[in-house]
């Protein structure tokens, strides 16, 4: 049996500090040895040059340069100045960026601008006739279908898409059609009333 000396070494010359350091390093060495080798990083993809496309927005053919990664939302707002289409979650959950593509409601944040070429795009600005509000816009105003108003353009576009496809929706059909558009203020009852009022106004005016 070895005896401890006052300097911390035993007769075999192993110090307590050295022993502890060796023991603490062992697990680290074991873990390091068991780690998988880092995967080789793939070479960076070179950015493609912008391409010129023609987008038909609100009845007008507009030429614009876009990158392949540009969403329809970003192009409408940043390159065409149509800021009525609002960015929200930008992952297809809130509906604030809703526009009509060939008459059907679509999230502009989930569609590439290149995908929209050759399609008929309608934004909130396209519902007006000069300075006159469209039927759905008027109904939202008259029924107080908004509070903060940020989600309102998307709500109106969803309602517009519904009424173009179904001029006489039931309350349940309205709720279902508007379910993809979130209102953080919770003005849903007013929104539903606005859609019904817009439907009545469009039918009275012979508008489909």
Tens of pLDDT, residues 83-96: 999 999 999 999 99
One-character DSSP codes across 80-130: T--TTSPPSSSSSSS-TTEEEETTEEEEGGGSBGGGGTTSEEE-GGGG-BT
Q: CA angle 154-177-142, nearest 5°? A: 55
Which pLDDT band holds residue 12 (cuts at 50, 70, 90)? very low
- CATH hierarchy code of domain 50-127: 3.10.20.30
Which pLDDT band holds residue 49 (cuts at 50, 70, 90)? confident
Could you tell me which residues come within 8 angstroms of residue 192 by beta carbon, excluding any fewer than 6 positions away?
171, 174, 175, 178
Judge whether 167 and 122 are in contact, CB under 8 Å.
no
pLDDT, tens only, 50-90: 999 999 999 999 999 999 999 999 999 999 999 999 999 99
Q: What pLDDT sits at residue 48? A: 73
Residue ranges, CATH 1.10.150.120, the chain: 128-208
Residue ranges, CATH 3.10.20.30, the chain: 50-127
Which pLDDT band holds residue 17 (cuts at 50, 70, 90)? low
* pTM score, whole prediction: 0.76
Q: Is the pLDDT of residue 29 over 50?
A: no
Look at the alpha carbons of 63, 65, 70, 73 in this order and tell me if their dihedral is positive or negative: negative
Q: What pLDDT sits at residue 205? A: 84
Domain 128-208 is found in CATH 1.10.150.120: yes
Place of tokens 């110090």: 15
Could you tell me which residues come within 8 angstroms of residue 61 by beta carbon, excluding any fewer than 6 positions away?
54, 55
């Amino acid at each position: 049996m070895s005896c401890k000396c006052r300097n911390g070494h035993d007769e075999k010359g192993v110090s307590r500090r050295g022993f502890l350091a060796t023991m603490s390093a062992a697990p680290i060495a074991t873990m390091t040895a068991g780690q998988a080798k880092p995967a080789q990083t793939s070479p960076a993809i070179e950015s493609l040059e912008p391409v010129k496309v023609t987008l038909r927005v609100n009845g007008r053919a507009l030429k614009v340069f876009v990158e392949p990664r540009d969403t329809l939302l970003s192009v409408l707002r940043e390159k065409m100045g149509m800021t009525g289409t609002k960015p929200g979650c930008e992952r297809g959950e809130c509906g604030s960026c809703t526009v009509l593509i060939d008459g059907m409601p679509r999230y502009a944040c989930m569609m590439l601008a290149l995908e929209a070429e050759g399609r008929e795009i309608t934004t909130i600005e396209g519902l007006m006739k000069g300075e006159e509000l469209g039927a759905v816009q008027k109904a939202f105003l008259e029924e107080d279908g908004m509070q903060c108003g940020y989600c309102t353009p998307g709500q109106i576009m969803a309602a517009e898409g519904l009424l173009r496809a179904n001029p006489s929706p039931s309350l349940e059909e309205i709720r279902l059609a508007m379910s993809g558009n979130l209102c953080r203020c919770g003005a849903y009852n007013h929104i539903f009333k606005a859609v019904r009022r817009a439907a009545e106004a469009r039918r009275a005016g012979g508008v489909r």
